[in-house]
């Protein structure tokens, strides 16, 4: 063999390991399936809190962890197909919020860990066996929305002194919302209010419902839900047009023009959900991680809406508020 041919052959051989190495696929990043209930626009603050906390825990998106986002856009029926997609993708973990989303994720997989970012009473709605030992593949955070129904009603009565008739509205396809509505009905009966429940299943039913409400309520109690949240601006506009004060469990509605909200800080719960993700990605079993309850509750008041409705918000209540929107 000629010297030049030998050197050429040797040079080619020397490059084989490098070429083989370059063709090897990169190690797959741990992947989180983020099942959003509404849209990125609606949930941007929650996503930001979740991602920021992950970063603090050492998980940086697209560097050592991947996040696949899917959005149900307020349509409960979409949860099933999106959860099934995550199961097909074999994500390492699913983060879901609201009872219907977690139910869909549970139906899609009994193997992939599921972290509840926020849902109403996971025990009462059958998502887990107990708060202390959830069992199975689900753990996370409860917002205990139904437990604070009486407090929301108390605050509403303080702002609407002549309140006698209460209209309770919610999406009855959401077990969490049904539980909230039931507790609100019980709280209203306990203080002598006449409460009427109105059921919603689709966005198209919202406007006609306000027609049905005429003369049947002095104020509205909304059970928080992806469908409601996605349509919160329209709801607030219709309520203001009907001159009806509204009470909600989530601040998003008040930012959109609703009167008041009181409930667990959902942004804080998404932040805390990242801690569950961290533990599970590091080897913890979801069924052995206790469900946590809220530690931070927010009272938010829209003073502009109150003035438009001719309502007086006491200085004491304004002082207690975590945020006043003007």
Q: Which CATH superfamily is domain 146-264+298-325 in?
A: Response regulator (3.40.50.2300)
- Element spanning 309, H or E: none
Do 31-143+266-295 and 146-264+298-325 share a fold?
yes
Where are the domains positioned within the chain? 31-143+266-295, 146-264+298-325
Q: Which CATH superfamily is domain 31-143+266-295 in?
A: Response regulator (3.40.50.2300)
d(Cα 99, Cα 175) in Å, to the nearest integer? 7
Helix (H, G, I), strand (E, B) or coil at 47: helix
Residue 10: predicted pLDDT: 40
d(Cα 77, Cα 54) in Å, to the nearest integer? 29
What angle, rounded to 10 degrees, do the helices at 266-281 and 40-56 form? 50
List the end-to-end C-alpha distance of the chain, in Å, as a whole number.
Answer: 88
Residue 28: predicted pLDDT: 87
Asked if residues 264 and 238 have their Cβ atoms less than 8 Å apart, the reply is no
pTM (2 decimals)? 0.86
pLDDT per position in the chain (326 positions), as tens? Answer: 444 443 344 444 433 343 444 444 456 899 999 999 988 988 999 999 999 999 999 999 999 999 999 999 989 999 999 999 999 999 999 999 999 999 999 999 999 999 999 999 999 999 999 999 999 999 999 998 888 999 999 999 999 988 999 999 999 999 999 999 999 999 999 999 999 999 999 999 999 999 888 888 999 999 999 999 999 999 999 999 999 999 999 999 999 999 999 999 999 999 999 999 999 999 999 999 999 999 889 999 999 999 999 999 999 999 999 999 99
Helices (H), the chain: 3-23, 40-56, 78-89, 99-108, 149-159, 175-190, 206-213, 226-230, 232-241, 251-255, 266-281, 303-308, 315-320
Q: What is the dihedral of CA 281, 80, 169, 315, to 10 degrees?
A: 20
Residue in 306, 298, 287, 8 with CA at minimum distance from that of residue 143 = 298
Residue 294: predicted pLDDT: 92
**DSSP code for 177:** H
Residues in CB range of 17: below 8 A, 6 or more apart: none
Residue 145: predicted pLDDT: 87
């Amino acid at each position: 063999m000629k010297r030049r041919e030998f050197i050429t052959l040797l040079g080619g051989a020397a490059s084989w390991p490098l070429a083989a190495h370059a063709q090897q696929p990169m190690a797959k990043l741990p992947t989180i399936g983020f099942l959003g209930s509404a849209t990125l626009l609606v949930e941007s603050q929650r996503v930001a809190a979740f991602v920021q906390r992950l970063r603090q825990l050492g998980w940086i998106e697209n560097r050592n962890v991947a996040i696949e986002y899917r959005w149900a856009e307020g349509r409960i029926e979409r949860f099933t197909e999106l959860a099934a997609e995550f199961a097909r993708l074999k994500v390492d973990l699913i983060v879901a919020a609201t009872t219907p989303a977690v139910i869909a994720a549970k139906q899609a997989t009994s193997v992939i860990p599921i972290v509840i970012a926020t849902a109403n009473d996971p025990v009462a709605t059958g998502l887990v066996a107990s708060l202390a030992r959830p069992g199975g593949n689900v753990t996370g955070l409860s917002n205990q929305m139904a437990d604070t129904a009486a407090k929301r009603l108390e605050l509403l009565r303080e702002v609407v002194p002549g309140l006698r008739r209460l209209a309770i509205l919610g999406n009855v396809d959401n077990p969490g919302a049904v539980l909230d509505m039931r507790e609100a009905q019980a709280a209203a009966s306990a203080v002598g209010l006449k409460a009427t429940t109105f059921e919603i299943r689709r966005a198209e039913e919202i406007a006609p419902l306000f027609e049905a409400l005429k003369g049947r309520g002095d104020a509205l109690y909304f059970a928080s839900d992806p469908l409601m949240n996605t349509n919160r601006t329209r709801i607030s506009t219709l309520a203001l047009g009907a001159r009806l004060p509204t009470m909600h469990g989530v601040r998003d509605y008040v930012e959109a023009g609703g009167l008041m909200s009181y409930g667990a800080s959902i942004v804080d719960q998404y932040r805390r959900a990242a801690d569950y993700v961290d533990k599970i990605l590091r080897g913890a079993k979801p069924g052995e991680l206790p469900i946590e309850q809220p530690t931070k509750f927010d009272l938010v008041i829209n003073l502009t809406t109150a003035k438009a409705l001719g309502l007086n918000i006491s200085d004491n209540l304004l002082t207690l508020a975590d945020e006043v929107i003007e």
